[in-house]
Structures are given as C-alpha cells and as structure tokens.
Structure 1
Amino acid sequence: MFVSLFCALRRVAGDVKKWRPAGADRGFTFLHYNLTIAYHRTNLLARYGSWSANSNGGKLEALGYKEGYRVDVDIPEGTWEKAPGFHDILIFNTGHWWWAPSKFDPIKSPMLFFERGLPLIPPIPPDVGFDKQIRFVEKTMQPSAIKLFRTQSPRHFEGGDWDQGGSCQRLQPLSPKEVEELFSLTKNGTNVEARLVNLHLYKSLKGSNFHILDITRMSEFRADAHPSTTGGKKHDDCMHWCLPGITDTWNDLFVTHLNSLKIRN
C-alpha cells in the first residue's frame, strides 16, 4: 500500500526528498506540497522479545513456563514509537503475527504479556493482549490525528499452504462462490486467517475512535493479482501483490475515506 501511494504521488510531484522521519523504515517528502509519507515496520505494535525462565524463579516460572516471548502491551515497538508525534494521519495494520502458531507456538514459545514491567497473572490469551494493545495505541495518538486501522490482506494459496506446495495460478478474479470456497470460516481452509483475524480486530476496535479501512472483502476476489511464480521465491508468492494492482484500489478507498471525513468535519 505504501509503495502504491508513493508511486501515485510521484507522478504529480517531481521534487522528492528521501529520508526516514520519526524512525521510519522508509520515507519521502514531496517538497512542493510539504507532504511527508513514511512506512514504519512493526509486527505486533508492542515491544517484544524472547523470554527465558530465571533460575531464581518468578511468577511465570512458578506456573511452569520455561521460555516464550515477552510482549509489553504498554511499550510501543521502537520502529513507530515516535510516529504519533510526527504524523497527522496514521494507518495501522497488525494481527497476522498475533495469531501465527509458526511465530508464537502456544505451547513451545507462547506470548507472555507484561504491563508496567510485570507479567500479567494469570497469563492472558492473545485476543486479550491485543485488546490491551489497541487501547494503549489509542492513548499515544494526538487528539487531532486521523487514525485508521486497515483490515487484513488475504492470501490465495490453493492445494496447500506456502510450504506445502500451495500455488496461485489463476488468471481471472474469483467468483463469489469461489471466494467462499477459499475463505469460508466453516471450511477452515488454508486462507481463513484474514477473516479470523478480522473478527478479533473488529471486536477490539469496537468503541474506539479508529476508522476502519476495510480492504479484505474486495481483495478476496483477486486471486489473479499475486506475483505467483514471478516473485523470485522457491515457492509461489500468493501473499504479496503485483503493482499496478489491488493496492492501488486500497489507496483509492483510503482517499475516498479521507474526503468523507473532511466533509463530515
């Protein structure tokens, strides 16, 4: 989405300064318009790192935990902690890592949540930790900032997951029936993750002052829009998107959303 936005703006503004504002991974200022856009990479929004049991014991050790990942729900990851004080408009996206057994195995390497430097006892599940993280993010924002949360980007693996020979060789968008075959929660197939995460996301954002940028449904149809075998990987890339492509439409939706907020205000 960020690359698509940069390309669109670059077509109408030639004088661009490349830099990394507020600790961003990438950033550009379009000098004529005094407009800066930046991309801050973060997995959980919260600061996290590996955790191992202390030989002197502790509350988690007493419960039998030996290792896992410490997640501080009230400390932002350093990559974006300065962003709220710099940007007027922020688009957040997280969720994929929160419910990823390959990253945080609930048995072998669970997420262990901390607040104010102390472990939360009894240990809380990821959905409760996610709720706490959303509440904390809200508190860090400037009152005048426009805050959006982008829903999950769907994958289109067929015949297995990315490491099981899954592929995405379609040349046309899916029909509504085909979409449900791939993404229906009742079938619990390879690609249901986006809808599952969105269920948690909508629940956590209820009552917040975030505006939701829903890109999931429209993207579910575009099984034809991934790099597939041209992605330069050993397996089909059915997760990222080609440019030009669907992410351009995400930005069209984003601009429309901004205009609607401007009219309302």
Structure 2
Amino acid sequence: MGITNPFKDQSLSLTKRLLPWTLYALLPIALLRFYFYPVPDTELPHSTPITITSYSSSASSPPFSENKKAYDPPCDYFDGKWIRDMRGPLYNGTTCGTIKEGQNCITHGRPDSGYLYWRWKPSQCRLPRFEPHTFLQLVNNKHVAFVGDSMARNQLESLLCLLSTASTPNLVYRNGEDNKFRKWHFPSHNVSVSVYWSPFLVQGVEKSNSGPNHNKLYLDHIDERWGRDMDQMDLIVLSIGHWFLHPAVYYENDSVLGCHYCPGLNHTEIGFYDVLRKALRTTLSSIIDRRGGKGNGIDVIVTTFSPAHFEGEWDKAGACPKTKPYRNGEKQLEGMDADMRKIEIEEVEDAKTKANELGGFRLEALDVTRLTLLRPDGHPGPYMYPFPFANGHKERVQNDCVHWCLPGPIDTWNEIFLELMKKWREHPRTEE
C-alpha cells in the first residue's frame, strides 16, 4: 500500500490557478521588449546568393480581393522609402529571354547583388509583390501597348520577365533597328503585349549620322507609327522624357516654332519644357478624340520622368558608383527632374478633366520620379557591356546611368502599375 502525498493535489491546483496570471504578466513585458528593441535590419554580404521566387503556371490564381476591404483608404504608392527585402526578385537574368543585353547586369558580371534586395514601402499602406496571374487575368483578351522611348522598353521588358514566371509569351512580331517594334502573345490568357518606339510620341524625325545633328518634332501631329494601331489597343503605357534633352527644331502648323540648342540656325531658342508639354497634350488629346466616348474605351498610363544618376563623365569607370539607395532626406527632388515630372502630372490631370466629360477613357500617372531618384544603385553603369574589367582596370569605359538593371528597381513600377489596374477593376469606366 503506497504512501499518499497530501500536498500533491493542492500543488497541482495552485499551479493551474497561477499559470494564466503568469502568462498575462509576461505578455506586456514581451511586447515592450519588441517595441524598444526591434529586430535589427541586417546588411547583405556581397556573396549572398540571389533568391528567386517563381510562380508555376499551374498554380491557382489568387483572388482579386486579396487583402482588400471596402473601407480601405486610398493609397499613395509614390510616397515612401526603400527598405531591405531578403526575398529577392521574382526572376533573374537567365529566367526570361526578353531582357535587352545592356540591362542584363547579372549575366554581364556585376559583382554586387545588394541592389536586388530592396523593396519600396509606401508610407501609409502596403505594396504587394507582383502577382503575374492577377495581371494576366485583368488584361485577359486585351492588348497592352508600351509607347515611347527606351524607358518604355525597359519597363516592358521588366513586365515580360515578371509575367514569364507564370506564363510563357511567344514573340509574334518584330521590326525595326534594335527590335524597336515588337509584339508578344500569352496564349494562356489571349493577352498581347507590344512595344512601339516613339521617343517624342508626336511625329518626329530623329537625327542621324548622315543628316542634320538635331531632331525634328511636329508638335501638332501624333506619331502614326503607333497612332494607326490605336484602335487595336486596350491599354497604353506612355513614357517619354530623355530624348527632349537633345538638340531639336520644333514645328507647329507647318512652320518653325523654335528650337533647342541649335547654333548656326536662325531659329528662336525656346528650350524643351513647353515642347514636352505640347507633345504630351497633343498625344492625350488625340487618344481622347479617337477613343473617348465611342463605346470602345481605352485605359492610359503615363509613366513619369525617370532621373539619371551620372556623378561624373559617361565614359569614366565610376560614373554611377553607388551600391545602396539614398536614405529619406538625403536626396531631394528638384531641378529638371522635378520640372519634367510636374509637367507630366499637370497634363495628365488636365486630360482627366476632358476625358471625364466624355467617358470611356481612364487615365492615371505612374509617378515613379521620386522613388527612382532614390535608387542610384540600380543602373547598369559599366555593366551595360559583359565583364568590362575582365582584362584589368580600364580608365575609360562607357556607362549607362539612365536605364535600369533587370531585375532591379524598375520592377517596382510594374508592381504599382498592377495596383492601379486593381483599382480600375473596382471602379469600371463609364461608357456613353
């Protein structure tokens, strides 16, 4: 017959009574610990491998209403900061075959990878990672056209790489020097994505080695190389800016309006700011006239000016040497970058007013100017060419501090682009 312990039941009963109160006491202490001592943000060593997150084409598509509630306030995706993101990009330099060689920084031997691990964090909300299935569903049976200069092409190639993680596109058309006119088809959703080279959007004659050393712009006529296909487009992404900095003569109403940097010609110097405004106004007005209020509405995105980051001569090895983003407050949006953006935003808002009177036309600015201003580390630099220092250090090597590495910061443009499209889905256009 065993000896019983008279305290055993009392001890267990006391433990059961005290345990909940102990947990209640520890919880606020733990919360205070994380409040005053958050988990530190760690720096990535240069040897950190690139982590690629891909989507299977057979994966189930996420619902459109993901993390979306009716009472959510509108989000300003363009006000924020860059934060570390250890997940890395959705693709790399070898997972899609559409990257222009000069922007394929990984395969060209760029030695640092830290520029791939930053994410744009809006101040008042969350920017989801790109969802390729969602994008393709939103443009199902539609034609998305990127029209403009090489920044339009840069954004297009980013989008194709992002979408290729879910569905493989087929190149169905190519034409022009350097493949300036191309079209892809996604059979899975009957989606067409194309690029039209048109660095002024309006009719223009580009300077050449055999002709005058200036461009010619006809500011009251859109470029029909893309304009004639407008009826076949459902969504247009417009992107211009850098080509307006080049010498040019401007025409309006079949007469010379003036010029920009045209020594030796008897024309009035008028700069390029008003010319950019006129070109964009002509373009948006033409789209409204041809597609607004006719029962075959169209959506338009205007991607704002993307700043360059040259810190020296274009042919010096350290022309854009930074390997991290600017911190908040370290770099201000000012000067030409701010003026170009201001003109584009104003013209978009003015065109919105006109379009609202007609219906059948939706227009938004993809305001990337500030968020790209903060990313001097995202350009190819000397790695616009393969392994530029393979045979030893070179004093002079051409740099690209204008375009963006793929993958790189420009992928964020398409993440915000997708969020604008989600907003459009919740507020369908009005048709007359």
TM bracket (short chain) = 0.7 to 0.9
- Structure 1 segment 178-189 matched on structure 2, within 5 A: 178-180=330-332, 183-185=333-335
Q: Distance in 2 between matches of 1:171 and 1:69?
A: 35
Q: Distance in 1 between matches of 2:371 and 2:227?
A: 31
Q: Which residue of 2 aligns with 1:172?
A: 324
Match of 2:401 among 238, 241, 249: 238
Q: Which residue of 2 aligns with 1:8?
A: 162
Look up the equivalent residue of 1:162 and give its one-letter code. W
SS at match of 2:237: strand
CA contact (8 A) 1:96 1:197 kept: no
CA drift at 1:78: 4.0
- Structure 1 segment 96-135 matched on structure 2, within 5 A: 96-98=242-244, 100=245, 103-104=246-247, 110-115=248-253, 117-120=254-257, 125=270, 126-135=272-281
Q: Distance in 1 between matches of 2:313 and 2:348?
A: 29
Q: Distance in 1 between matches of 2:283 and 2:401?
A: 30
Match of 1:74 among 220, 232, 235: 220
Match of 1:257 among 420, 423, 429: 420
User: Is the alpha carbon distance of 1:124 and 1:76 closer, same or farther for their aligned partners in structure 2, counting shifts above 3 Å?
Assistant: farther
Look up the equivalent residue of 1:96 and give its one-letter code. H
Look up the equivalent residue of 1:137 and give its one-letter code. T
CA drift at 1:79: 3.2
Q: Distance in 1 between matches of 2:269 and 2:298?
A: 31
Q: TM-score, normalised by structure 2?
A: 0.48
Do residues 152 (structure 1) and 305 (structure 2) align?
Answer: yes
Look up the equivalent residue of 1:112 and give its one-letter code. Y
SS at match of 2:243: coil
CA contact (8 A) 1:70 1:114 kept: no
Q: Distance in 1 between matches of 2:251 and 2:286?
A: 19
Is there any run of 5+ residues in structure 1 with no aligned partner, and where? 52-66, 105-109, 186-192
CA contact (8 A) 1:113 1:129 kept: no
Deviations 1:90-122 (A, max 9, x none): 011112222x1xx21xxxxx522222x344599
Deviations 1:35-70 (A, max 9, x none): 00011111111112389xxxxxxxxxxxxxxx9654
CA drift at 1:166: 5.6
Q: Distance in 2 between matches of 1:138 and 1:263?
A: 24
Deviations 1:127-175 (A, max 9, x none): 44333323321233222110111011121222x2425776222222111
Q: Distance in 1 between matches of 2:414 and 2:404?
A: 14
Q: Which residue of 2 aligns with 1:205?
A: 348
CA drift at 1:255: 0.5
Q: Which residue of 1 aligns with 2:181?
A: 25
CA contact (8 A) 2:316 2:399 kept: no
Look up the equivalent residue of 2:218 and give its one-letter code. D
Q: Distance in 1 between matches of 2:214 and 2:406?
A: 38
More displaced 10-residue stretch of structure 1: 166-175 or 250-259: 166-175
Look up the equivalent residue of 1:211 and give its one-letter code. E
CA drift at 1:20: 4.4
CA drift at 1:215: 1.0
Q: Which residue of 2 aligns with 1:86?
A: 232
Is there any run of 5+ residues in structure 2 with no aligned partner, and where? 1-154, 208-212, 259-266, 353-362, 389-396
CA contact (8 A) 1:113 1:123 kept: no
User: Is the alpha carbon distance of 1:83 and 1:124 closer, same or farther for their aligned partners in structure 2, counting shifts above 3 Å?
Assistant: farther
Do residues 49 (structure 1) and 187 (structure 2) align?
Answer: no
Look up the equivalent residue of 1:171 and give its one-letter code. T
SS at match of 1:132: helix
CA contact (8 A) 2:169 2:184 kept: no
CA contact (8 A) 1:17 1:31 kept: no
Q: Distance in 2 between matches of 1:13 and 1:50?
A: 36
CA drift at 1:11: 1.9
Look up the equivalent residue of 1:41 and give its one-letter code. W
CA contact (8 A) 1:19 1:27 kept: yes
Aligned length: 231
Deviations 1:180-225 (A, max 9, x none): 3xx543xxxxxxx432311222233331123100111111221111
Look up the equivalent residue of 2:239 and give its one-letter code. N
SS at match of 2:326: coil
Q: TM-score, normalised by structure 1?
A: 0.75
Look up the equivalent residue of 1:13 and give its one-letter code. S
Stretches (4+) displaced over 6 A = 121-124
Do residues 220 (structure 1) and 373 (structure 2) align?
Answer: yes
SS at match of 1:3: helix
